[in-house]
Structure 1
Amino acid sequence: MEVLKDPRELEQSNRQIMIKNLNDVYSSVEKLIQRTYAQKEADLNFQFRNIRTNVSQLLADIKNKQLDSFSGKKGSLEELYRTEDNLLNESIQMKDTFSSLISSTESIDVFLLESLIENLKKAFNDRIIVDRDILKEFKLKQMESKSAERVMSDEKQRSVKEESQKITSTGKRQTGELSDSLNKSRLIMVPSMSSGTNPANDNEKNGNEDIETDVLSKLYNYMNILEHKYSSYQPEVSFNGEYIGKRKWKVNISDKLIFGNIMDTVLKPLLTFETYWHPFEDLRTIIQFVQREANAVPAGQYKSLCILNLGWNPDIKEWVQNYMHPRMTLYLCNLETNEILFNSNVKNADRLKVWHNLETYTALETDIESLIVNDEAFDASDVAEMTGLSTEGANKFLSKLLSENKIIDVGFGTARYKGMKK
């Protein structure tokens, strides 16, 4: 597994390496000045003296932690790692090139040497600033990495345990002591590795209930329908009303679980949808489990979680309809009736549930078709009221329709629209 490097430590380490490499370059230039002076190569000697001045200035700038001569720029953690690698490579190439000239008898390409200095300047100028956003992204990646390591460790331990149980069961079978209950097939549905907890690791009985064939058939059919929906569409309205129809939609599907991520950046999800089987019977157990799941959602992210069962006890049904968390919406689905229970007071919970139920997804454009075909002008507030989008989200969605020539702006500066006549 790739080891993440602390951006602050990486930047400081690379700075020291560059300073050392530039000191070596400076020493090489000094030797070349002495050699060209001894050989009376006046023009070349003059050019090397200019190069020495440039190297000296670059060295002083890099030593200055305030970076007065360089601007830097904002970027992602991935971009920071890439630009730092590029910076080191430029530094090493420059050092090796100048060093090789000391013993070389070939003609010297001064233009190439000056280009190396300029390339290093540019690479240093293109450094990504280590700001709060970078550090936040680094911490999130660390959490994901540790979570993945935990899951891999748990899987390994579970594999060893299962192998041990298999050996024990085999031994019992030989003595005729194997219980009939162990002949029944079992199915455990677990959440993805992105979750903060793993139901398969719970010691409670709830996650290991036997599933009969007819229930298994319903469960697989449910997952198959969700798979078709996730593969054919993507969410357009986020939990906060943001328009997310243009963001990347990553889906992971198996017979045991289904989850999809709307990505905020290349590395970080903004919104996660997760659905899996876990037949809780005890209220306290599900409360503790759900709270662990919710607390594991990082700041700036949101999870929409649906747990499947063949029915829910009355106290659990009452509890879920009042459940609230700032980073998670919870749904409980009854596979027998396909009923989904949730807290309807949570913003956009009613709209997000379509990614967990068997209903057909209706695109936003279809939702506002009545506005588009109507002769009357409409604006973002009309769209927001019909779709669950915020006003800002509605404006982004309308900008998309405008760019696709599906609506026209008739507001003359007041942002009002009509459908494009066909």
Structure 2
Amino acid sequence: MDLESHPTTLQEENRKKVHELLKNTHSRIEKLIQKTYQQKDSAATSQLRQLRTRITVLISEAEKKQLDSFGSHNGNIDEFYENEERFVDTPTMLLQEVENALATGENVDVFAISDLVDKMEMGFSHRIELTDKNLSEYENRIISKKQAEREERGREEKERREKDQKEAEEKSPAEDKTELFEISESSPTEIKISSTEDIEDETSIPDDAQVPIKKDELDTEVLSKLYSYINILEQKFEKQHPEVSYDGEYIADKQWKVELSKRSVRGSIKEGRFKTPMLIVDNYWKSIDDKRDIIEMIQAKASTIEQNQYMSLCFINSSWDQSIKDWLRTYSHQRLGFFLYDLVEDDLVYNETDENNRKFAFWHSTNGTRPKLTEIVDQLIEDEEYFDLNDVMEHSGLNLSGAKKFIDGLVRKKVLIDVGLDSPKYTRSK
């Protein structure tokens, strides 16, 4: 492993390398699709289009400075460097495989390309998150390595001096003269200077690799609306905390981490020994016009979300095609909530019949208020004075264990008391 590269620097450099490799691969996949279409290989063309969509998702992930949505595993410093090496090697092999497929006249081996895309997706989800522990391990390794290098240089210098001294003692005057004569008769050193043509041949780059890929260029009005929307979400994410998980558990006592960029806002809750993300709420700019592309992208994204995880995802754009909106209003997935925000119309589009969508819509909307669980309890007391766990579950979206955890916390803080009345019932503590 290359300890000279600091882990944080290496991780960022590798992200940029992979981003460029994937963009180049995407452009070549487009050419490969044209090739299979001309060969009338409809099966290969269809498979390549699906791979193109998956690569589009990976490009989007590589644009983000943080790790993949449900990635970031723990590991020691050796595992970190090994994973980072694979993280760059895989897209390099992927690009080479696609270029080879373009160069040959034979049928395209879509399976080989798909296998590398699978490995690429795995590489994103298994990057190791840097912690204070393995950064400290890195610093200790550097200190040990430098000390060993100093000791090695000292030994080599000592051996060289001893060797020179021994040779000087054994050398005779006659040998000295012979050596001088041989040097004076030797021919001058030949230095080859490359011609301009040689330099051009060695550094030539294919025309298609030299064409830069333009980033989204937004006009002033759209940019202003985007920044305004991001600012609203930022304040909401910073001041408030999700209280109810997708499956009804109480999560207000867990750490809520907020990440911000010019075109995105993300909040996440991690749990367990390995700090695995259980909830991601993500909003970011994504300009897509093709309904097929967005459907395939979302399906690919949904396949990366594991059990006991949930993502609420919102793509932001200046406007969305009506056919995409119509499709989204019927889309539902048990672990992926999907939203579209239309900047021009100030409209949040989603399937409103999906319970989890209704639960998380607040985190994607410009609406800045919502009832907190304590306010729901206050309303229950005002309406009936006494309430039980079933009332809390009905009005809050909490499941039984979540409602019990929340109420028990208020009882411990002496905000509520259990008055019994044949079965557990609660009211405000006096």
TM-score relative to the length of structure 1: 0.53
Deviations 1:291-336 (A, max 9, x none): 1221112232111101111221111011111112222110111112
- Write out aligned runs for 1:85-234 (5 A): 153-158=14-19, 192-195=66-69, 208-234=215-241
8 Å CA contact 2:266, 2:281 repeated in 1 = yes
Structure 1 pair 209–254 and aligned structure 2 pair: CA distance change class (3 A): closer
> Quick one: distance in 2 between partners of 1:223 and 1:271?
20
Classify the secondary structure of the residue corresponding to 2:280.
strand
Superposition deviation, residue 383 in structure 1: 1.2
Matched AA of 2:337: T
Superposition deviation, residue 208 in structure 1: 4.4
Matched AA of 1:212: D
How many pairs were matched up?
Answer: 245
> Quick one: distance in 2 between partners of 1:158 and 1:396?
44
Asked which structure has the greater RCO (Cα within 8 Å, sep 6+), the reply is: 2
Deviations 1:340-386 (A, max 9, x none): 11122322321211111121243211233211334531011111111
Structure 1 pair 207–406 and aligned structure 2 pair: CA distance change class (3 A): farther
1:369 maps to which residue? 378
- Quote the sequence identity (%): 33
- Write out aligned runs for 1:16-31 (5 A): none
Classify the secondary structure of the residue corresponding to 1:281.
coil
Q: Which of residues 309, 326, 340 is equivalent to 1:301?
A: 309
> Quick one: distance in 2 between partners of 1:333 and 1:310?
8
> Quick one: distance in 1 between partners of 2:245 and 2:21?
41
> Quick one: distance in 2 between partners of 1:207 and 1:221?
24
| 2:259 equivalent to 1:252 | yes
1:108 maps to which residue? none
> Quick one: distance in 2 between partners of 1:322 and 1:161?
32
2:415 maps to which residue? 406
> Quick one: distance in 1 between partners of 2:313 and 2:323?
19
1:332 maps to which residue? 340
Classify the secondary structure of the residue corresponding to 2:221.
helix
Matched AA of 1:156: K
Structure 1 pair 160–313 and aligned structure 2 pair: CA distance change class (3 A): closer
Matched AA of 1:373: E
> Quick one: distance in 2 between partners of 1:223 and 1:368?
31
> Quick one: distance in 1 between partners of 2:217 and 2:424?
58
Structure 1 pair 161–406 and aligned structure 2 pair: CA distance change class (3 A): closer
> Quick one: distance in 2 between partners of 1:157 and 1:273?
25
> Quick one: distance in 2 between partners of 1:308 and 1:346?
20
> Quick one: distance in 1 between partners of 2:346 and 2:374?
27
Unmatched segments (≥5 aa) in structure 2: 24-59, 71-120, 125-212
| 2:113 equivalent to 1:239 | no
> Quick one: distance in 2 between partners of 1:284 and 1:378?
49
Structure 1 pair 296–414 and aligned structure 2 pair: CA distance change class (3 A): same
- Write out aligned runs for 1:262-411 (5 A): 262-266=269-273, 267-362=275-370, 363-374=372-383, 376-411=385-420
Classify the secondary structure of the residue corresponding to 1:345.
coil
Structure 1 pair 404–395 and aligned structure 2 pair: CA distance change class (3 A): same
Superposition deviation, residue 289 in structure 1: 1.2
Structure 1 pair 253–413 and aligned structure 2 pair: CA distance change class (3 A): farther
2:47 maps to which residue? none
> Quick one: distance in 2 between partners of 1:207 and 1:412?
69
Structure 1 pair 225–301 and aligned structure 2 pair: CA distance change class (3 A): same
> Quick one: distance in 2 between partners of 1:417 and 1:276?
42
Matched AA of 2:357: A
1:114 maps to which residue? none
Classify the secondary structure of the residue corresponding to 2:326.
helix
TM-score relative to the length of structure 2: 0.52
> Quick one: distance in 2 between partners of 1:294 and 1:369?
38
CA RMSD of aligned residues (A): 3.2
Structure 1 pair 417–316 and aligned structure 2 pair: CA distance change class (3 A): same
Structure 1 pair 410–212 and aligned structure 2 pair: CA distance change class (3 A): same
Superposition deviation, residue 230 in structure 1: 1.2
> Quick one: distance in 2 between partners of 1:372 and 1:354?
25
Superposition deviation, residue 247 in structure 1: 1.1
